[in-house]
Structure 1
Amino acid sequence: MRIAVIGAGNSGLATAAYFKKYGYFVTLWNRTEKNIANLKQSRRIKVLGIWDTTFIVDIVTSDIKEAIQGVDLILVTTPSDSHKDIARLIAPYVKEESIIILNPGRTFGAIEVKQILLQEANVCPIIGETQTILYTCRKIQEDVVSLLAIKRNVQIAFLSKDGHSIFKHLPKCYSCNLILVDSILITSLGNVGMILHCAPVLFNIGWIENKGVAFKYYYAGITPSIANFLECMDKERIMVANKLGVDVLLVQDWLKKSYKTWGNTLYECLQNNDAYKTIDAPSTLKHRYIMEDVCTGLVPVEYIAHQLGIVVPHISLVIDIAEKVVDFPFREKGRKMDILDLK
């Protein structure tokens, strides 16, 4: 099986290295060539953390046609706010039998990609999305990634009635960490990143913008009071999911399932998660924790909530603060789906 990994960031490097470990032919694509100049020459990815070894990928390129031509599986690892652009780039080259998986889709990513591919090329390949990134990882250099953990029981869903057959044909080294669920609504509304990322960044603005201070994001940045606020946001997310007829896990229960952590509260589960110990806080507000997770997480949930007649005051407050502090129209630019699109 030939695999194309789209995006050479945190998750992209980890994904490419992971599949090379198991002997697959891997093409790694990145839009900006200068960001992969050295990697393109050496094709070597150094992995630190739970592994300490180097893998050689087969092709590194900024040519999207070269990246996906003749591959069996396309794994999109770019931030979810770039899904529209990626869909437009790949549209001329994908086929009906192509398998595209967003890692992750965040909220309604697979539906958005399907809409773009139909508009651009009238093509409807097999499209799936995971609930979250499979790897806890951080890119250290252009060709070096720190792999801190491989998550367990990550949910995956497909926009196809034949999801079970598709799942069976995925590489075993990949599917062994996944759980197939019946609906994209489950993976989309199971998006825990929007809960864990947005509010803590905004509530730590003073420290983040203080260049003389560095702190651990989950351990020091999410205090008991912030964690309590996140639990309120999480209950609103659950309420929207239940109104749409799907069951999703609370963040603290997801942490227990994915990382084998423990605790009676979200704060305790975060403090007891060894995989989060070394993760630093962002150094700027214009980080994916805000720019991505508000646009493709909180905004679509709020938009659907309003259509359902549900008030989500904590989620709405975070969007309000983000718009004022970052001076960016998140609601205008964010991902918005009508309930009919979800059906």
Structure 2
Amino acid sequence: MKVAVIGAGNSGCAQSIKLMQNGHQVNLIKTSHSLHDDNFEQLLKTGEISCLDTTDNNREFSLKPNMITRDIEKGLDGAEAVMILTQSLQHRELAKKIGPFLKEGQIVFLIPGNMGSTQFANHTKGKHIIYVEGESTPYDARIIAPGKVEILFKNVRNAVSFLHKEDEKYLPVVTSLFGTHKYLRTNIVESTLHNPNMVVHTIGTIMSASRIEYSKGEFWMYRESFSPAIWNLVEQLDDEKKQVIRAYGGKNAINYLDACKWRNEEDLSIDSLQVFKNYAATGGPKGPASLDTRYIYEDVPMELCMLEKLAAEKGISTPIASALITIASALKSTDYRMMSYEISDVIDYIQ
């Protein structure tokens, strides 16, 4: 399959490598100058992505995408599937940029989705576009040098939701991309609230703010942040999340640790907390190095704030989510509630 990958950062480079290994033809497209420009310039120079794959015995190799470009129209031309691997904060503006070039019958797969498919659908009315949302990428990765990505971890299972229920028949096509996206969520609300970053990134960073600033880059959130008291906080945020999922018709409202095990572990008989600890020790990346991190500036407005707003629409109280949003906003002197979608932006697609 010919796949256009939008986003040439950590995730875009890693998923492109794996798509090519799976036999797909990749056009890698960068649409902004906000992050990773030095990486992209190196990709343009060499025409290839270099990789250190720790999930494959630390193998080092390079692969050449079919195209590496900033030309959106050229990069999308002929693509059967389009993967949106930018930060979800960019979805609203990105939809305006690429919407005019999307064609009838294309599959548009957003990871993380965070209800961003609603923004793309608003710019492609009159076209049958198959919109799919994922919760987390199948491969965790970090750029370790310009043009080179290190793949750290592979998910065992991934779930997706389709914006339009009738498009669920395209699940086998989505599965063919990586092999892990075999499972359906009920709807995009369920997918958004099962994004693991909504829980682990926000609580792990907000509650460790002083440690992050004191450590000056020597901080491992997955290893350091989650004490017994913090797990109490996770459980209470989980309870709020599950209430909202059920209120919108979701059938798979599970807690963070069980969802983590389901994604990451072949053997589902293993204790969920032990699976998390194993991931923290072997696959969880270092950082964040500062509070200027997407763990706050993306995951608070696009996930926690959406949880709060979706809950309010159904008359559900979210004291833990609301407190975390307020604290994060105070820590960064930023009103994150103003940065998230309003219910009016998404309501037509979630009723």
Same fold (TM > 0.5) = yes
Distance 1:181 1:194 in 2: 17
TM-score (norm 2): 0.89
Residue 62 (structure 2) pairs with residue 62 (structure 1): no
Corresponding residue SS for 2:334: coil
1:201 alignment counterpart? 205
Paired residue for 2:145, among 127, 134, 141? Answer: 141
Match status 1:4 vs 2:9: no
Pairing 1:254–2:259 present: yes
Unmatched runs of 5 consecutive residues or more in structure 2: none
| Deviations, residues 102-161 of structure 1 (Å, cap 9, x unaligned) | 01202x22223212444xxx5452111112222122222232111122212211121233
Please state whether the residue corresponding to 1:50 is helix, strand or coil.
helix
Structure 1 255/19 Cα, relative in aligned 2: closer, same or farther at 3 Å?
same
Contact 1:216/1:277 (<8 A) preserved: no
Change (3 A) 1:171 1:200: closer
Is the counterpart of residue 79 in structure 1 residue 83 in structure 2?
no
Partners of 1:83 and 1:131 lie apart in 2 by: 15
1:318 matched to 2:318: no
Contact map agreement 1:263 1:272 (CA 8 A) in 2 = no
- Residue ranges of structure 1 left out of the alignment (5+ in a row): none
Within the alignment, does 1:45 sit opposite 2:56 as a pair? no
1:308 alignment counterpart: 314
Q: Which amino acid aligns with 2:81?
A: L
Is the CA contact 1:263–1:269 (under 8 Å) kept in the aligned structure 2? yes
Asked if structure 2 preserves the Cα contact closer than 8 Å seen for 1:157 and 1:180, the reply is yes
Distance 1:201 1:313 in 2: 18
Q: How far apart are 1:274 and its partner, in Å?
A: 5.7
Task: Determine if the alignment matches structure 1 residue 185 to structure 2 residue 160.
Answer: no
Structure 2 matches for 1:1-343, cutoff 5 A?
1-32=1-32, 34-35=37-38, 36-48=40-52, 49-51=54-56, 52=59, 53-106=61-114, 108-118=115-125, 123-170=127-174, 172-210=176-214, 212=216, 214-246=218-250, 247-260=252-265, 266=273, 268-273=274-279, 276-338=282-344, 339-343=347-351
**Superposition TM-score, scaled by structure 1 size:** 0.91
Quote how far apart the aligned CAs of 1:182 are. 4.0
Contact kept, 8 Å, 1:156 with 1:180, in 2: the verdict is yes
Contact 1:101 1:128 in 2 (8 A): yes
Mapped partners of 1:113, 1:159: distance in 2: 11
One-letter amino acid of the counterpart of residue 296, structure 1: M
- Tell me the distance in 1 between the aligned counterparts of 2:301 and 2:148: 28
Q: Distance in 2 between matches of 1:161 and 1:264?
A: 34
Higher deviation after alignment, 308-317 or 215-224: 215-224
SS at structure 1 position matched to 2:323: helix
Alpha-carbon distance in 1 for matches of 2:282, 2:302? 23
Count the aligned residue pairs. Answer: 338
**Cα RMSD (Å) of the superposition?**
2.1
Helix, strand or coil: the match of 2:226? coil
Could you tell which deviates more after superposition, 43-52 or 229-238? Answer: 43-52
Q: Secondary structure of 1:104's partner? A: coil
Identity percentage of aligned residues: 26
